Chains A and B, each alone.
Chain A
Amino acid sequence: MDNTNTKYYYPYISPFDPCKPIVIKSYSTPPHLYMGFQPPNLPQFSTAREALFRGTLWPALYDTYPPEKAREE
């Protein structure tokens, strides 16, 4: 299953659109979307501090949530 954390799409650009065209747009698809019901005994981050800094207890659910999505060309 292709579960990258960011997906992209290319909006339609109208010839009559006065504004600068937005060629590419992106949206966030974190891992929990592909997980469904969380299985038990998933591996966890080794320390509480790392879990705090990563924002989740389980690496399988970790996502950096990049703010301005890196444009992929």
Chain B
Amino acid sequence: MSTPKQVPQAYYDLLEQIQAIDFVLVELNLYLDTHPNDAESIQQFNQCSYESRKLKKQFEKQFGPLMHFGYSYSNYPWDWIDVPWPWQV
């Protein structure tokens, strides 16, 4: 019985970075809802957004799609159904 596919530690490290930057984006988003004129925070928000997309692209190049329904490109063959599923990560 062959052991199931294991993902390297880099998978989790990169995922944690994405999680952290997305958390900062949520915080800034909520802050900016009540402080629309705070230019500095808007600039930080845009920087973080750029960083988040960069990290996600990097992740997807290495480990396949991060999101489905068109939010991520697919490799060939269709690998969204590969393990680990999001809830298995």
Set of chain B residues within 8 Å of A47, measured between Cβ atoms? 20
Q: Kindly count the residue-residue contacts between A and B in the assembled complex, taking CB atoms under 8 Å apart.
A: 33
CA distance in complex: A57, B21 (Å): 11
The number of residues on chain A lying at the interface, defined by a beta carbon within 8 Å of a beta carbon of chain B, is 11
- CB of B31 within 8 A of CB of A49, answer no
Complex contacts, A40 vs chain B, CB 8 Å: 35, 38, 40-41
Near A by CB (< 8 A), chain B positions 27-45 give 27-28, 31, 34-35, 38, 40-41
Which of these, B17, B19, B35, B48, contacts A38 with CB under 8 Å? B35
Q: Which residue of B lies closest to A51 (CB)?
A: B24
Q: How many positions in chain B have a CB within 8 Å of any CB in the partner chain?
A: 16
Residues A48 and B40 in contact, CB atoms below 8 Å apart: no
B35 A49 Cβ-Cβ under 8 A = no
B38, A57: Cβ atoms under 8 Å?
A: no
Check A38–B20 contact: CB distance below 8 A. Answer: no
Residues of B near any A CB (own CB < 8 A): 16-17, 19-21, 23-24, 27-28, 31, 34-35, 38, 40-41, 48
What residues make up the interface of A, taking CB atoms closer than 8 Å to B? 37-38, 40-41, 47-49, 51-52, 56-57
**Mind listing 17 A-B residue pairs with CB under 8 Å?**
A37-B34, A38-B34, A40-B38, A40-B40, A40-B41, A41-B38, A41-B40, A47-B20, A48-B17, A48-B23, A48-B24, A49-B17, A49-B20, A52-B23, A52-B24, A56-B27, A57-B27
